[in-house]
Amino acid sequence: MRAIGLLLWKDVVVELRAKELVYATIFFGAVVILVFCFAFLGGPKPTVDVAAGVLWVAITLAGTVGISRAFEREREGDTMRALLLAPVPRSALYLSKLSAISLLMVIVETVALLLVSLLFGIPIGGILPSLVALLFLGTIGFAAVAALFGASLGRARSRDVLLPLLVYPIVVPVLIAGTRGTVALLVGAEPAVASFWLKFLLVFDAVFVSLGVWVFEPLVAGDA
């Protein structure tokens, strides 16, 4: 835990200095939402299904931009190598990156949620706790997969292209669960429906975080 905290502290301090990832991901997420908003301009008012879909697509796309840059930063000065040389369990490296990515995405999600609520005219006040839980679990699931591939792509030449190609197919269940769960909350469906998607995300997170902890070492070690 000490190592995870230390590595997370480092990521937070570096980002506070650079302010590059937060601005880039927030801006990208906002642009995606605005593009969708303009696409529906002049037509009938978009349904909550559309708003929920836009929210989760924006989060996923913005998250990928942030993750790609977060690992690029570790390649400057070859600091990933320095971390692999350090006497900390490789699982701590994985969990710290997962935490840092999640933290970044939480900030992006806050802005994205407000924008979607405003632009699509959807009140979220009454369902906020459940929506936050849904977003949190979805974020962990996405970050668990993205951190794994982000690190393992290492020095691959086409890593910026490969990252979304590898991550998106695997996080499709997160997108579906997040969108369906959000729709269920927005239309006031039976609590059991949203609860089902929350449990689904919880299982997804458990599986992929465990998998990440297990396979991170062989993926990044060996010929680092």
Partner 1 sequence: MTFDTVDARGLTKVYGRQRALAGVDLTLRAGEATALLGPNGAGKSTLVGILATLVSPTAGSVRYGASGGGVSGGGASSVASDDAELADDELRGAIGVIAHESHCYGDLTGHENLVFFARLYGVADARATADALIARVGLRDAARRPARTYSRGMLQRLAVARALVHKPRLLLADEPFTGLDRAGVALLSELLAEERARGCIMVVVTHDFDAVAPLIDRVVVLARGRIAHDAAAPAQRSTAALADVYRAAVQS
| Residue 18 beta carbon to partner 1: minimum distance, rounded to whole angstroms | 5
| Residue 2 beta carbon to partner 1: minimum distance, rounded to whole angstroms | 8
Q: Assess 3 for contact with partner 1 (CB under 8 A).
A: yes
Residues contacting residue 99 through CB under 8 Å, at least 6 positions apart: 4, 8
Under 8 Å between Cβ of 208 and 144: yes
Binding test (CB under 8 A) with partner 1, winner from 84, 103, 132, 215: 84
Query: Is the CB of 13 or the CB of 211 nearer to partner 1?
Result: 13
| Residue 73 beta carbon to partner 1: minimum distance, rounded to whole angstroms | 8
Residues contacting residue 153 through CB under 8 Å, at least 6 positions apart: 71, 159, 162, 163, 166
- Tell how far CA 102 is from the center of its chain: 6
Q: Tokens standing for 192?
A: 């059991």
Binders of partner 1 among 58-77, rule CB under 8 A? 76-77
Q: Assess 157 for contact with partner 1 (CB under 8 A).
A: no
Query: Is the CB of 12 or the CB of 133 nearer to partner 1?
Result: 12
Nearest alpha carbon to residue 96 among 63, 65, 74: 74
Burial of 136 (0-12, 13-18, 19+ CB in 10 A): middle
Binding test (CB under 8 A) with partner 1, winner from 17, 157, 158, 190: 17
| Residue 97 beta carbon to partner 1: minimum distance, rounded to whole angstroms | 14
Residues engaged in binding partner 1 (CB under 8 A)? 3, 6-7, 10, 13-14, 17-18, 76-79, 81-89, 221-224
